[in-house]
Each structure stands twice: as C-alpha cells, then as structure tokens.
C-alpha cells in the first residue's frame, strides 16, 4: 500500500478551516485528524499552509484532436497541474466533434496517455445526432455542451424541438446540459447593424452581443427545463440581466445552475483599449457594473461555479481585427491563482474557494464525492498554498503553445507550493513530476 501523510496543514472547507493531517492511501483519502501516525508513509509537512481540494475546471477547450496548432492536451493539462487544477472537463468542439459514442471513445483513447491531470469528456448535441444521446451517456460522457450559435469546430446549433428532446433525455438519465446561452438571431441582428457603421473597434464586439442576447436565451432554456425537469447549466455568465434571469428561474424551482469565469470578474470594457482583440471572448467582457453583479451572484449563491473557459488560439489569430479574431484565450493555469488572490484580498471569503472551484463543479457533473472534496473516500487530490507567498504571473512560464494572457504581470498573493493527484506529489515548489498520470473519469451515477 502506498501512503502519503500530509501533516499540520490548514484544511479549507466550505464551512471553515481546521488544522489537521490527511492520510492518502492508494490514491484515496483514508484518514483526517490530529497527529496521524502510520508506518511506511511519505511525509509532507505543510505547517502554516492552506490545503484545498484540487480544483475541478469544468470548462476547458484543449484543442485536441484537430486543432493542435492552437494547443494540445499535454500542454493544456500541464498548465492545469501547475495551476492547481487536478480535474478538467474537456469540451466537445474539436475536429471531429464528440457527437457519437465512437468519437468519444476515440478521443478518450487519444488523450489518456497525454493527461497530466484527470479528465472527463463532454458530448455535444445538434439536430443530426440526438439519437446518439444515450450511447454517449453510456460511453461515459460527463455531460453535454450545447452551442446556440456558431462555434469553433463548426457544430450546428440545435433547433428548439431538438433542445426539448435533449432535455427529456437528460432528465431521464440525470445528465447535465451545459449551454452557451446567447440568442443567435439577436447576435446576428446587432452584429449586422454595427458592422454596417464600419466599426472595427473592440467595443463594437461588446455592443454586438448585448445582455439581451444572454437574457433571452436563458429565459427560453429555463422554460424548456421547466417542462422537462432537466438540469441545465449556464456557462460563462457575464451580465446583470443573465443573473436576474437565472435567479428568477431558480426561485421557481427550475433545475438551473450557473458558472462564470475570472475574466468576467476581473476585467471590464475599460480593458479593451489596452488588450484589444486579445481579450475577445463570447459572450463579451462587459461594462464595470456587470462585474459587481457577478461578484454579488457568487456571494448570494446564484452562480455556484467558476471555470476557466480555457480556449487557446494562435497569436496570428488573436492579432486579427475584432471581427476576424476568434473568441477565447488560455485560462486553466490562472483560474485558481486568480481566485485565491481575490480571497486573500477579501473580495470573497477563503472558504468559498473549495465550493466554487471544486465541490460544486464536481456535484454538477456527478463526480462528487470522488472529486472536489477533502473527506474520507475522496480521491487524494490536494493543492497546498502558502498564503504569504507572493509572485507575478509570467506568460512565458505558461506551457500553452501561444503565450497569451491578459493577466501577465499581475502580482498575486497565495503561491501554490504543492499539487497532489491521487496521492502523487506531481508539483513540488516549482518542479513538475514530468509524467502524465491523469486518468479518464466517468460520472458516478452511470
């Protein structure tokens, strides 16, 4: 039996902080308590340091297969590891898209030998593959991503009847449906109006996708969820209006959860003048008032998860004009560090971190209590942070193929000293154990 004893850490739970030891045996937490003693254990003393469950990034686009010129799975999961993310949930809009069970199995086999952290795979729903829903579930899909407009990978948006049928199937199989919630007919309408003015400034992109696009889409999806009982999960929420629509649906008992991302919490429209198309994302980064709505929604438990929406592109692509540049930039390496920094600066309570970045995403995607927790029986996935350690984000230290981040040069509090994956110390004070130990994970209810 392999044992790792993590001693004298400050364990951070959603309900508080305690000082205790953690024993991990054969990859699983087997004991938590004071002064644990065991023979034949590797001992890691972390006195005075904060111990969190490994982060679960529910929203990554690692670009493999088919788009490796943007990035690949090895690089992406290395960035996850260094950033304290021990589980990633990989989106389906690669080439080919994950729209059949056989394609999910092929993607799993391709990525298994390259994963530096554990991973799950989404399937995708469109009009031509609704018959593949149950086979994808049986093949181990962590959930389904549904794009309501064009996206990387050229996946067609489903019709309303297909959405309804997908929700019926999701309800029967207890499978979450993650939505990019923007009404595409409105996006087209506003985009055409602004392009007709000849505008190519970065703010034009923001104005081409106003909050009404989010709100209309969310209210439409919530209505379908009301009649089907499906669990719908709205990813990358950006606006006050979206928060209001989600809150109203939740108050009616509709099964709707929501995620936002660090760039919507930390950047706003004033940053376009500096970064231009490098911070183009869909939905867009908005005016400052929306940031405050998002922080409030986190505190009020309306938005219960934070993912990265890690979406790398080439430098050439991102340097195009605002209409031609694709949306997205790398984020998995900075997800947890940025949020730890905000907690240490008291923007939110430090005890919210394990909920927002580990426990809640794991619960949404039915991998809790295997992932996202520090309890007996959970996988031994831990991140150990020195709350007094300060450092500066350096884009050149990212493993992603194209070194792009708007957070380059930001000074952060809370240095990651150790990352533990199923009892293996895979990151130790700046040094990576250069061996991909990640495994494929399925929902626990399948």
- Contact between residue 356 and residue 306 where contact means Cβ atoms under 8 Å apart: yes
**Could you identify the residue written with the tokens 């999910």?**
104
Chain segment 37-65, per-residue pLDDT in tens:
998 999 999 999 999 999 999 999 999 99
- Neighbouring-strand partners of residue 42: 4
Q: What is the pLDDT of residue 152?
A: 66
Nearest alpha-carbon partner for 63 in 140, 152, 132, 146: 152
Rounded Cα distance, 300 and 266, in Å = 18
pLDDT tens for residues 103-137? 999 999 999 999 999 999 999 999 999 999 999 99
Q: How far apart are CA 320 and CA 343, in angstroms?
A: 35
Q: Which residue has the tokens 């150790």?
A: 418
**Fold adopted by 54-364:** TIM Barrel (3.20.20)
Supply 36's token pair. Answer: 């644990």
Q: Region 175-193: what's the mean pLDDT? A: 97
**C-alpha 158: how far from chain center:** 23
Instruction: Give the pLDDT band of residue 415 (cuts 50, 70, 90).
Output: very high
Helix (H) or strand (E) holding 353: helix 352-354
Of the candidates 99, 95, 57, the one whose C-alpha atom is nearest the C-alpha of residue 76 is 57
3-class secondary-structure state, position 395: helix
When computed from its CA atoms, the radius of gyration of the chain, rounded to whole angstroms, is 21
Phi/psi of residue 114, each to 5°? -110, -5
pLDDT digits (tens, 9 = 90+) for 348-405: 999 999 999 999 999 999 999 999 999 999 999 999 999 999 999 999 999 999 999 9
Predicted confidence (pLDDT) at residue 446 exceeds the cutoff of 80: no
What is the pLDDT averaged over residues 314-326?
Answer: 97
Q: Return the ∠ at Cα 403 (arms to 148 and 71), rounded to 5°.
A: 55
Average pLDDT value for the chain: 97
Residue 410 has pLDDT above 90, yes or no: yes
Q: Can you tell me the distance from the alpha carbon of 70 to that of 37, in angstroms, rounded to the nearest whole number? A: 48
Q: 236 with 145: CB under 8 angstroms?
A: no
Give the confidence band of 437 by pLDDT, cuts at 50, 70, 90. Answer: very high
Q: Give the confidence band of 153 by pLDDT, cuts at 50, 70, 90.
A: low
Is residue 207 predicted with pLDDT exceeding 80?
yes
- Model confidence at 434, in pLDDT bands (50, 70, 90)? confident
Written as one string, the DSSP assignment of 369-380 is TTSS--STTSB-
Would you state the structure tokens that stand for residue 138, as one six-digit string?
Answer: 């049986």
Distance CA 260, CA 404 (A): 20
Cβ neighbours for 311, distance < 8 A, ≥ 6 positions apart: 61, 152, 281, 327, 328, 329, 330, 331
User: What is the tens place of the pLDDT at every residue in 233-248?
Assistant: 999 999 999 999 999 9
Bridge partners (DSSP) listed for residue 306:
260
């Amino acid at each position: 039996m392999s044992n790792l004893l993590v001693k004298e850490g400050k364990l951070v739970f959603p309900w508080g902080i305690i000082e205790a030891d953690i024993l991990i045996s054969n990859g699983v937490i087997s004991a938590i308590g004071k002064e644990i003693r065991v023979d034949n254990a590797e001992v890691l003393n972390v006195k005075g340091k904060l111990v969190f469950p490994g982060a679960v990034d529910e929203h990554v686009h690692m670009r493999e297969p088919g788009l490796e010129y943007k990035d690949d799975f090895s690089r992406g999961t290395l960035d996850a590891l260094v950033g304290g993310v021990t589980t990633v949930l990989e989106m389906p809009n690669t080439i080919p898209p994950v729209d059949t069970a056989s394609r999910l199995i092929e993607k799993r086999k391709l990525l298994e030998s390259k994963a530096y952290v554990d991973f799950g795979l989404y399937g995708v729903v469109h009009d031509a593959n609704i018959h593949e829903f149950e086979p994808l579930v049986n093949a181990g899909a962590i959930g389904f991503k549904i794009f309501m407009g064009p996206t990387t990978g050229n996946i067609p948006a489903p019709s309303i009847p297909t959405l309804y049928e997908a929700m019926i199937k999701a309800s029967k199989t207890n499978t979450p449906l993650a939505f990019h919630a923007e009404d595409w007919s409105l996006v087209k309408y506003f985009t055409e109006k602004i392009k007709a003015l000849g505008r190519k400034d970065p703010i034009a992109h923001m104005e081409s996708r106003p909050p009404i696009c989010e709100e209309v889409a969310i209210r439409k999806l919530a209505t379908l969820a009301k009649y089907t009982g499906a669990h719908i999960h709205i990813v990358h929420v950006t606006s006050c209006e979206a928060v209001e629509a989600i809150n109203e649906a939740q108050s009616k008992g509709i099964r709707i959860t929501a995620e936002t991302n660090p760039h919507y919490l930390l950047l706003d429209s004033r940053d376009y003048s500096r970064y231009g198309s490098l911070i183009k994302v869909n939905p867009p980064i908005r005016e400052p008032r929306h940031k405050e709505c998002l922080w409030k929604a986190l505190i009020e438990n309306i938005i219960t998860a934070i993912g990265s929406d890690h979406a790398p592109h080439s430098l050439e692509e991102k340097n195009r004009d605002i209409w031609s540049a694709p949306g997205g930039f790398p984020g998995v390496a900075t997800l947890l560090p940025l949020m730890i920094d905000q907690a240490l600066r008291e923007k939110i309570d430090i005890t919210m971190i394990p909920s927002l970045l580990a426990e809640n995403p794991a619960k949404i995607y039915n991998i809790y209590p295997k992932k996202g927790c520090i309890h007996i029986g959970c996988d031994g996935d831990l991140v150990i942070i020195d709350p007094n350690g300060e450092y500066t984000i350096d884009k050149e230290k990212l493993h992603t193929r194209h070194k792009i981040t708007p957070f380059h040069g930001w000074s952060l509090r809370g240095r990651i000293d150790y990352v533990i994956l199923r009892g293996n110390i895979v990151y130790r004070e700046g040094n990576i154990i250069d061996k991909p130990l990640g495994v494929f994970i399925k929902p626990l209810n399948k």
